[in-house]
Each structure stands twice: as structure tokens, then as C-alpha cells.
Structure 1
Amino acid sequence: MSMLARSVLRAATQQPVVAAPAQARNMATLREIELRLKSVRNIEKITKSMKMIASTKLAKAQRAMQAGKDYGVANAEVFANTPSDKPTPNKLFVVVSSDKGLCGGIHSSVSKATRKALTSDPESLLPVGTQINKDSPIAIIGDKSKAQLSRQLSGHYSITFNQIGRDIPTFADAAGVADLIIKSGVSFDSVILVYNKFVSAISYEAALMEVKGEEALKEASAFNAYENEDDATKDLVEFSLANAIYAALVEGHACEQSARRNAMDNASKNASDMISSLTMQYNRGRQAAITNELVDIITGASAL
């Protein structure tokens, strides 16, 4: 039995390997290109549809942003006229992002700005000379930035939010976030909002907005010129925080829709370029296969 097995094995190894015909290889390649073309065309249809949807949402988001910016302007004017000499190193960072992707680097921009601010990077967006406690707590709105910052700054997380801004943000959403931040028991002298600032329909940039806390507001000489009850000051701080969060949410939402539209536009253009390249490759392969068949037919006819 062993001699028979060795003889069979020897005969099998001595048999020549038959290569696949060139025509079969070409046809298989053409089939693969055809399937890939079909796949890329389907992707192009999806990205174009998503671009149209994002364009419609962007128009609504821009209208909401123009109305929401008034809240931020009013806040900035209040705090600009109430300067305080009291240092506020204990700051709470509120990172404004969202839960959705497919919108370019919209989330990584606020994540990078937060990391630079907490590490006192020279390129940080904080004003020169700003005192920062490296153990400052972080509140995050949105799952995307939460995942990006979890590797280095997960120990700083105090409270996180999700399912906010799925549609156009409202003042009720911002008020709910501000109320939970104040009730969370986190100690802070001021709040720094890290959000995306809307520059144009094709660009955005990370920005910071500071909202003073109750103690810092009480120390302001301009604020002490008026007789105010403690409850009024506390309510003003909470209302100012809600105003600032609302302005950051609507502006960040507009940036997100703009970035998503641009991302889908670029994806559609890349798909169109790939379709053109694959179509040319398919036509060349098809012409080569037809030429080989004609050569075989002519050669056979000449032999006869």
C-alpha cells in the first residue's frame, strides 16, 4: 500500500500545472470590475441623497443659529461690563459636540482645543495668562467627543450628555443641561464652553466662551453697585449659563450640518472620479477580450 501511495504521489507531482486561459482571467477581471462599478454607483447615489438632506438641514440650522446668537451676544455684553479681579483657576470645561458622525473633523476640532487648554499648550485658545487647574472637571455634550477624549482625559469626566441636538437644539435643551450641571455638585469658579464657531458654509473653527460663576460675579465692582439678593445672583448665573450653552449648541449644530454637507459632496466627487476610472478600465479590458477572440477566430480560419 505504501509503494502504491508513493507511486501515485510521484505521478501527481510530475504532472504539468495547467494555467488558466488568458481569456478566462480577463473575463473574471471584467466581472469583478463590473461588480465594483455597481457598488460605487450605489454609494454615489447614497452620498448625493445625504448631501441634499444635509443642504436642507443646513438652511434650517443657519436660521436657528442667527436667532440663537443673540443669546450669546447678550451674555458677552453682561460679562464684559462686569470685570472681576478674583482669579478663577477652578474652571469647568463644557465640550459641545454631537452623537453623529460622517461630518469630517467637526468633533476632533473641539477635542483638540480641550486637550490644548488643559495642558496649557502655547497654541491654546485661552487668553494669555489664564490660570488653569490641570484637574479641572469636564462636561461633555455628545458621544463622539466623549470617545475621543476618553483615552487621555477620562478621569476628568464629571457629567456627560447624549441625544441632545439630534434635531435643531432648543433653549429647553440648553436649560436642561445647565440645570443638571449646577445640580451635579461640581465645584467651579467659571465655565468654559468649547464649541465650533460658524465662519462660512464651508469652514468653521474651534472657539471658547467663558461664563463666570456666582462668586466671581459677586466680586465684580460693577455688579456690586446694585443691590441684589443672593437668589437673584444665583438665578442670573444659571440663566447666563443656559444662554451660553444654547448659543454654542445652535452654532455647533450649524457647523455640523455644513461639515456633513461638505463631506458628502467630497464623497460624491470621489465616487464620480472612481466611476470614470473603473469605466475606462472596464472598456479597455472588454476591448482586449474582444480582440483576443477575434485573433483566435482569424487564426483558426487561417489554419483551416
Structure 2
Amino acid sequence: MLARRSLLRAASQPSPLGAAPTNARNMATLREIEMRLKSVRNIEKITKSMKMIASTKLAKAQRAMTNGKEYGVANSEVFQNTSVDNPAKHKLFIVISSDKGLCGGIHSSVSKFTRRAIADKENPVDSDSPIMIIGDKSKAQLSRALPKNLAMTFNQIGRDIPTFADAAGVADLIVKSGIKYDSVAIVYNKFVSSISYEPAVMEVQTEDMLKESPGFKAYEMEEEATKDLTEFTLANAIFAALVEAHACEQSARRNAMDNASKNAGDMISTLQMQYNRGRQAAITNELVDIITGASAL
């Protein structure tokens, strides 16, 4: 009689829908799965929106990169006939990155390339070669690896498509900084395709190296003209690297948001299946309790 009353009491008070079984203490309840589904769906909406924005910016960045590459071509034509016999060892490294994240490992690639270039034994450079960084992301990485080499940092450059005025301002601050160096190595990301990029370096010669080159010794040039030429070629090289690095950043951000959206979709499918199974199990348990109670009566 007592067992029959207990059974009727259990049948009259079924467990709420979505509650985890008593023997599964660590199993997620349906309410928790539903909340996770809602949060993942919101994240998927955000990543899809960011992908669309990055795709629009990438088209503009590619057009700017095509125009900006002409500055780098002009520099390469100048330096083709100004090679020197003794390679520079005390280089100034200018690392091109940005202030924004959510674009994969694009900032880590230039930071790793800079560290390898300074530690390279085949083409040795001075271990105390100064480093100037454009962008806060590479600054945070290189400040931990090479804190003694940091000479100057720039930010708030490249938030939109870089302009020649931005590059000229950076070049002017570098010239006025008074830091001694034999040559300039600009480390940036080279645009390969819309889905790939690779770190690269662009060499820029200084005023003294231009004067010592055989191509310049053949002509009589005023010192002011040589100085203006070196400053202008430095600004040209920085601008060409900035626009190409900006295009790589937008491409990497679009690919990163695309991968994030796909991962969110896979997670939504997994959570939805888990939710459906849990809901079916909860309904089955309630039917068993009702049928058991009805059979007892």
C-alpha cells in the first residue's frame, strides 16, 4: 500500500521538461543548451556581418594597392643601379602592421620575420638594430621579444585606406628622430592572392649609400638633391608597403570571419542535435512515468 502511494505521488508530480536525469549530474540541461544555441547564433550573425564589411573594404583596398604599387616600382628602378659592395649590417627595421585584430596570424607573420632577420647568421645584422613599428599589434609582440631594439612606434595609421600623407608623416618622423642606421628594411605582408599572403622585406638605401654607389658617383649632384631623393624614396616605399599590407589585412579578416561563421554553423548543428535528443529523452521519460502511474491505478 505504501509503495503504491509513493508511485502515485511520483506520477502526479512529473519532472519539468528539460531537466537533467538524477543520475547524470554533469549533463547539460535543455535550458543550458538553448542558451548556448542562442549565443552561438548571435555570434554567427556578427561574423557574417563582419565578413560582408571586410569584403567591401577588400575591393577598395585592392584598387588602392594597385595604384600604390607604382610607387614601389619607381623606387626599385632607382635602386637597381645604386648597389654597393658592402651590405649594411646596422639596419633600421620598419614593421608594418595595424591596430586591429580578428584577422588571423597576419601580425604574427611580420613579427616572426623580423625576429628571424635579426637572428639570421647567414646574413648577419647587428643585434641592436633599431626597430620602428606601425601598429599596436606587432608592437605588443615585439616588445616582449625584442624590447631593447624598439626605437619608435606609430598607431592610428591605416584605419582606413592609407594615403601618401600618412607615409610622408612617418618618413618625416623617422628622418627627424636622429637614429643612426646604414639602410632601411621595411617588413610587410605581400599580397599573393585573395586567400594568401606572405611576409616580405623592401630595402631602402640611405643618403650615404647612394653617394657611395657607382651609379651616383658618375654624376655631380648637390647634397640637398640627394637628401630630398632619399627622403622621397623612403616615403614612397613606406606608402607602397602600407597599401599592400592593408589589402592583406582585409583579405585575412574576411577569411577569418568566413571560417568563424562556418565553425559557428557546425556548432549550431551539433547543439541543435543535442537539444533535440535531450528533448526527446525528456518527453520519453515523462511518458514512461505517466504510463507507469496509469498501469498502477
Aligned to 1:226: 219
Aligned to 2:199: 206
Aligned to 1:280: 273
1:257 is aligned to 2:250 = yes
Q: Deviations over 1:193-247 (max 9, x none)?
A: 0000000000000001100000000011111212210000000000000000000
Aligned to 1:155: 148
Aligned to 2:52: 52
Aligned to 1:292: 285
Is the CA contact (8 Å cut-off) linking 1:88 and 1:131 kept in structure 2?
no
* Per-residue deviation, 1:161: 0.3
Is the CA contact (8 Å cut-off) linking 2:118 and 2:124 kept in structure 1?
no
Aligned to 1:63: 63
Question: What is the CA–CA distance in structure 2 between the aligned matches of 1:277 and 1:31, rounded to whole Å?
Answer: 16
* Per-residue deviation, 1:94: 0.3
* Per-residue deviation, 1:86: 3.8
Question: What is the CA–CA distance in structure 1 between the aligned matches of 2:210 and 2:70, rounded to whole Å?
Answer: 21
Structure 2: gaps of 5 or more residues: 1-14, 22-26
Is the CA contact (8 Å cut-off) linking 1:189 and 1:214 kept in structure 2?
no
Aligned to 1:171: 164
Question: What is the CA–CA distance in structure 2 between the aligned matches of 1:88 and 1:267, rounded to whole Å?
Answer: 44
Q: Deviations over 1:16-64 (max 9, x none)?
A: xxxxx69632597000000000000000000000000000000000000
**Residue 138 of structure 1, aligned match among 131, 135, 148:** 131
Residues 98-109 of structure 1 correspond to what in structure 2 (within 5 A)? 98-109=98-109
Secondary structure at the counterpart of residue 25 of structure 1: coil
Is the CA contact (8 Å cut-off) linking 1:64 and 1:168 kept in structure 2?
yes
Q: Which segment drifts farther, 266-275 or 149-158?
A: 149-158
Structure 1: gaps of 5 or more residues: 1-20, 122-128
Secondary structure at the counterpart of residue 279 of structure 1: helix
Question: What is the CA–CA distance in structure 1 between the aligned matches of 2:227 and 2:215, rounded to whole Å?
Answer: 17
Aligned to 2:9: none
Alignment TM-score, normalising by the size of structure 2: 0.91
Secondary structure at the counterpart of residue 102 of structure 1: coil
* Per-residue deviation, 1:142: 0.5
Q: Which segment drifts farther, 72-81 or 240-249?
A: 72-81
Aligned to 2:237: 244
Q: Give the aligned residue type for 1:105.
A: G
Residues 106-145 of structure 1 correspond to what in structure 2 (within 5 A)? 106-120=106-120, 130-145=123-138
Question: What is the CA–CA distance in structure 2 between the aligned matches of 1:113 and 1:138, rounded to whole Å?
Answer: 13
Aligned to 1:40: 40
Secondary structure at the counterpart of residue 247 of structure 1: helix
- TM superposition outliers: structure 1 runs of 4+ over 6 Å: none
Question: What is the CA–CA distance in structure 1 between the aligned matches of 2:86 and 2:281, rounded to whole Å?
Answer: 80
Q: Deviations over 1:67-116 (max 9, x none)?
A: 00010111111101211124421110000000000000010000000000
Question: What is the CA–CA distance in structure 1 between the aligned matches of 2:220 and 2:123, rounded to whole Å?
Answer: 30
Q: Give the aligned residue type for 2:243.
A: V
Alignment TM-score, normalising by the size of structure 1: 0.89
Is the CA contact (8 Å cut-off) linking 2:162 and 2:242 kept in structure 1?
yes
What is the identity percentage for the equivalent residue pairs of Structure 1 and Structure 2?
76
Question: What is the CA–CA distance in structure 2 between the aligned matches of 1:65 and 1:101, rounded to whole Å?
Answer: 21
Question: What is the CA–CA distance in structure 2 between the aligned matches of 1:191 and 1:169, rounded to whole Å?
Answer: 20
Aligned to 1:8: none
Question: What is the CA–CA distance in structure 2 between the aligned matches of 1:267 and 1:68, rounded to whole Å?
Answer: 31
Secondary structure at the counterpart of residue 198 of structure 2: strand
Question: What is the CA–CA distance in structure 1 between the aligned matches of 2:296 and 2:31, rounded to whole Å?
Answer: 32
Is the CA contact (8 Å cut-off) linking 2:62 and 2:247 kept in structure 1?
yes
Question: What is the CA–CA distance in structure 1 between the aligned matches of 2:123 and 2:228, rounded to whole Å?
Answer: 26
Secondary structure at the counterpart of residue 184 of structure 2: strand
Cα RMSD, aligned residues only: 1.6
* Per-residue deviation, 1:130: 3.5
Q: Give the aligned residue type for 1:25.
A: A
Q: Give the aligned residue type for 1:110.
A: V
Aligned to 2:80: 80
